[in-house]
Structure 1
Amino acid sequence: MKAAVYYDIGDIRYEEVDKPAIGFGEVLVKMEACGLCGTDIHKMLHKTVDTPVVLGHEAVGKIVEVGDGVEKFKVGDRVFFAHHVPCFTCEYCIREKYTLCNQFKETNIHPGGFSEYIRVPRLNVENTMHIIPESLSYMEATLIEPLSCCLYGLKKLNIRYGDKVLIMGAGQVGALFCQLVKSLGVGEVFVSDISDYKLEKIKDFGVSGTINVFEENIVDSINKLTNNKGVNIAIVAAGVPSLLKDAINCVDRGGQVLVFSPFNSETLMEIDGDKFFNDEISVIGSYSSTPYEYDIGMNMIANKEIDGNKMITHVLKLSELEKALNMSTDIDENSMKIIIEP
């Protein structure tokens, strides 16, 4: 079978790889669509993974083989599945910190979603696999996983009716967060980015104001928009280290900052520590998603509470993954969400 294999920065090869064989409790899925995620982009730009490797985890497809012991699914089912599974019994899982579970990152699909066929292990089948409603296209279904990540992040925040929210990043994650917080009844939603195209496109989701950080100082802009109060919540939805410092300076006293993007490990920045004590602000991290969000996310997209089609700007072939990566990082390419098809 064919796969897009990541070897090094600037070196992605569309090549022949072994088609995976399945065992007890497993299924083989023909990939029909896989979203290009911000974490995939981060891994390929900074080579934070061992190579060669097939990345991609926002994958959906059709079951073509079913292993012994599988009872809930059959050949022909259109399915969503996640790549990581917690153990549900360790000290982290008991505290509902499922993504910190030692088993979580040890589990994975094989190979990644940027391949023609994917072996879904037993634990993933049992705990994360869902049949996609017929009303939901494969392309829309690729948004189940990132939406579930956003839902998991929002669980950690104390969002109140009428809150002012700043979303830093107008890409896929920013668009999903925008729709989610609006559904919770927040007051004003502001979005920042460096792309005029994305900032214009995200207006489709009812934002109160946009800020191009190439042209405006974000802290000054937020102060102006909020009568020098700041926002109640800032969500860092882009992997730019300086955004953390900006987010802390944009929130009001008692405000919350959700860190939702990876930064380079060598990143250093100065942060005003007095804001934690005197202003009682909170900085909260959120990584990935858990099995408790997938059915909620899937139903929200199927019920059109989340508009996925407005977010998808490009659909490319598996052989064009490197082109997709370059498009996603080029401000002049005018992309928001890129989907990979076989």
Structure 2
Amino acid sequence: MKAAILTAPNAMSLEEAAAPVPMAGDVVLRVRAATICGTDIRILRGRKTAGVRYPSILGHEFAGEIVETGGHADLTPGDRVALCPAIACGHCDRCKRGQENLCTAGANIGYEVDGAFAELIRIPERAARAGNIRHLPDHMSFAEAALVEPLACVLNGQNRVSLGLGETVVVLGAGPIGLLHVAMARLRGATRIISTDPNHHRRAMAQALGADLALDATLPDLVERVRAETGGRGADVVICAIGLPALARQATDFAAHGGRVSLFAGFSKGETAEMDVNAIHYNEITVTGAFGLSRNDYDRAFELIASGRLDVRPLITHSFALDDALTAFDTAESGTAIKVAIVND
């Protein structure tokens, strides 16, 4: 089969690879769509190394068709399915506390298990047995299904800051994740949503997806503008959707008294940020991280997209064949696209 093989940081090539050999209970999918995540780019560039193997195949946002069922009675060859790529162990302390996304004894497809930038992918038996596989309704495209995973991560992040009705929200960054945060905040009943980004095309997309205002992130008086737009009080919730340490300080500057800040985006190991600890203390600002997703997050995100409550189709701006996977990565990294899909027809 063809696959985009990562052999070292900054070294990926399209190669012929051995087709996956399933063990008892494993499922094999023919990948029909896999979208490129910012984390995939960070791995390619060597900015994220945890759980990464060389050589390996990346890709954790995907959907496809069943090729081998692994003996699972609810699966049939040709079934259209999507999959939660996080495989929790189910018995560690974190899993028992309902924190599957923090499980360190499990595995993740696209990291410890070869991912979806290939023609075929093996789904471990324990993922199939745990209910990670979801059947697609006829009207749901493979590319839409691939975006269930990032939406599930967004749900986890917004739950961590209890984003709710009537709140003012600032989202820093209008890349794919920032745009999903905007759309999800609107769906959850936020009444004032402000997006910031230096790219005017992405700012326009943010407003199309529900932002009331999209500000140029390079404005020298950005904090004052946000304060003015919120009646001087700041935002109830601030979401840092770009992994730039400098934005952590900016996020607390935007927050209202009693506000909540989500450092949602992934940062590179060893990076540090300056934060206004005085404001955090006296203004009682809550600062939290958000990492990954659980099966529950995935199921809820799946239903939001499958039901049509949240339309992710505008986010998919570019599609490439697997033969052009390297060009797809270049496009995703260039900032000229929103979400890039690699499709296998």
User: Would you call these one fold, judging by a TM-score over 0.5?
Assistant: yes
Which TM-score tier does this pair reach, normalised by the shorter chain? over 0.9
Secondary structure of the structure 2 residue equivalent to 1:176? helix
What's the CA shift string for 1:146-190, capped at 9, x where partnerless?
111111222212223211001111121112111111111111001
SS of the aligned residue for 2:31 comes to strand
| Stretch of structure 1 that moved more, 309-318 or 152-161 | 152-161
Q: Which residue of 2 aligns with 1:293?
A: 297
Task: Quote the residue 2:157 is aligned against.
Answer: 153
CA-CA distance at 1:221 after TM superposition: 2.2
Note the C-alpha offset of 1:252. 0.5
Amino acid across the alignment from 2:281? F
CA distance in 1, matches of 2:13, 2:255: 44
Q: Provide the rounded CA distance (Å) in 2 between the counterparts of 1:306 and 1:340.
A: 22
Greater Cα shift, 256-265 or 43-52: 43-52
Asked whether 1:250 is paired with 2:254, we answer: yes
Name the SS of the counterpart of 1:300 in structure 2: helix
Q: Distance in 1 between matches of 2:85 and 2:196?
A: 30
Query: Which 10-residue stretch deviates more, 295-304 or 213-222?
Result: 213-222
Please give the residue correspondences for 1:309-328 in structure 2 after superposition, counting only pairs within 5 Å.
309-328=313-332
Q: 2:63 aligns with which of 38, 60, 63?
A: 60
What is the CA–CA distance in structure 2 between the aligned matches of 1:280 and 1:105, rounded to whole Å? 36
Q: Percent identity?
A: 28
| 2:40 counterpart residue number | 40
Does structure 1 residue 24 correspond to structure 2 residue 24?
A: yes
What is the aligned partner in structure 2 of residue 338 from structure 1? 340
Which residue identity lines up with residue 60 of structure 1 in the other structure? Answer: A
CA contact (8 A) 2:11 2:44 kept: no
TM-score, scaled to structure 1? 0.94
70, 77, 83: which one aligns with 2:79: 77
Residue 205 (str. 1) matches residue 209 (str. 2): yes
Matches within 5 A, 1:262-273: 262-273=266-277
Residue matched to 2:105 = 103
- Secondary structure of the 2:327 match is helix
Amino acid aligned to 1:241: P
Describe the SS at the equivalent of 1:235.
strand
Query: Equivalents in 2 of 1:322, 1:26: separation in Å?
Result: 29
Match of 1:292, SS state, is helix
Q: Which residue of 1 aligns with 2:179?
A: 175
CA–CA distance in structure 1, aligned partners of residues 305 and 221 of structure 2 = 35
RMSD over aligned Cα atoms:
1.7
| Residues 109 and 119 in structure 1, CA contact (< 8 A), matched pair in contact too | no
The aligned amino acid for 1:96 is: G
Output one character per residue of 1:251-295: Cα deviation in whole Å (capped at 9) or x when no partner: 001110111111122322221112222111111111111111222
- For residues 218 and 104 of structure 1, the distance between their equivalents in structure 2, rounded to whole angstroms, comes to 42
5+ unaligned residues in a row in structure 1: which ranges? none
- Contact kept? 1:109, 1:120, Cα under 8 Å: no
1:7-39 Cα shifts (integer Å, max 9, x gaps): 344432000111011122211000000010111
Q: 1:109 to 1:11 in 2, by over 3 A?
A: closer
Residue from 115, 118, 121 that aligns with 1:112: 115
Range that drifts further, 33-42 or 47-56: 47-56
Contact 2:30 2:66 survives alignment (8 Å) = yes
- Mapping 1:197-236, distance limit 5 Å: 197-236=201-240
Alignment pair present for 1:162 and 2:166: yes
- Please give the secondary structure, in 1, of the residue aligned with 2:225: helix
2:126 is matched with which residue? 123
User: Matched residues in 2 for 1:160 and 1:293: separation?
Assistant: 17
8 Å contact from structure 2 (residues 9, 43) kept in 1: no
- The count of aligned residue pairs is 339
Distance 1:38 1:122 in 2: 28
Amino acid at match of 1:230: G
2:171 and 2:238 in contact (8 A); partners too? yes
CA distance in 1, matches of 2:108, 2:270: 25
CA contact (8 A) 1:176 1:306 kept: no
Q: 1:26 to 1:105 in 2, by over 3 A?
A: closer
Contact 1:20 1:110 in 2 (8 A): no
Matched residue of 1:293: which SS? helix
Give the corresponding residue for 2:4.
4
Greater displacement, 86-95 / 309-318: 86-95
Shift of 1:136: 0.2
Contact between 2:85 and 2:108, CA under 8 Å: does it hold in 1? Answer: no
